[in-house]
Amino acid sequence: MFDDISPGDELPPFERTTDFANWNRYAAVNDEFIDVHMSQAAAQAAGQPDVFGMGNLRVAYSHNQLHDWLDGRGDITTFSCQFRALNFLGDRLSAHARVTGKECVGGLELVSVELGVRNQDGDETMPGSAQVVLFDGVPAMPAPPPATRPPEREPGVFLDDKTISWLGRPTDPVVSLPVDANDIRRWAMAVYYPDAPPADLFDLHAAAEVSWGGLVAPRDFNPFAWVREFHPESYP
């Protein structure tokens, strides 16, 4: 696969038209029943014309695109994005990605992509980038990048001193509940709706045949959803 990949290659898109059916399923698995996603009055009070979708659902759509393209032959090593526009009811979202480079590092085949999620008007709502590693036999992941010091920030209209004070400050550790097969299945069913999720994210026998040799959660899976001490209303 590595030899067949070239900078400029476009990945097959992952497309969804989103409404409450998509959002409610995602809210159910991610404990994200936030009023601006459910109530027009709450969204309008926040200055928006109507309810809007979860930013993290678009992250899931980009992960789905990468997962489907890799088809069990690799995994995501890094991922970053920015939310630049909102996803309103009935928007047609298209996750897109393009190869920007590839290299071998420490015997690992790494591929870099630029990605994003556009709406039906062609507006980029979530520009980002990712790196994937391709597997040849036993899965192997590159070492994580070194930690960096958070950049200094100046107070602004929306960025106040209290928020800035959290830069570089560790939070108390939170331990997830045990993650079982049905947690992974439900997440995959929610983010792939209305299509069925890939077999390797649902079926134990199919998962045993691909890279990791067992059922593995998608990279955007949130193990802290539905932990009493760590829910949206408690975020600092």
DSSP state of 108: E
Q: Burial, 228: exposed, middle or buried (Cβ in 10 Å; 0-12, 13-18, 19+)?
A: exposed
CA dihedral 167, 168, 174, 179 (to 10 degrees): 90
CB atoms within 10 A of CB 23: 22
Sheet with 108-118: strands ordered across: 14-17, 92-105, 108-118, 128-134, 74-81
- At residue 196, what is the residue type? A
Our measurement of the distance from residue 60's CA atom to the centroid of its chain's CA atoms, rounded to an integer in Å, reads 4
Ranges of each domain in the chain: 2-142+155-234
Question: What is the percentage of the chain residues whose pLDDT exceeds 70?
Answer: 98
Query: Over the stretch 16-64, which tens digit does the pLDDT of each residue have?
Result: 999 999 999 999 999 999 999 999 999 999 999 999 999 999 999 999 9
Superfamily of domain 2-142+155-234: Hotdog Thioesterase (3.10.129.10)
Q: Determine the pLDDT at residue 137.
A: 77
Are the C-beta atoms of residues 54 and 38 closer than 8 Å to each other? no
**Which residues have C-beta within 8 Å of that of residue 174, sequence separation ≥ 6?**
224, 227, 229, 230
* pLDDT > 90 fraction of the chain, expressed in percent and rounded: 81
State the pLDDT confidence band at 176, using cuts at 50, 70 and 90.
very high
HEC-encoded secondary structure of 21-43: HHHHHHHHHHCCCCHHHCCHHHH
pLDDT tens by residue, 59-70? 999 999 999 999
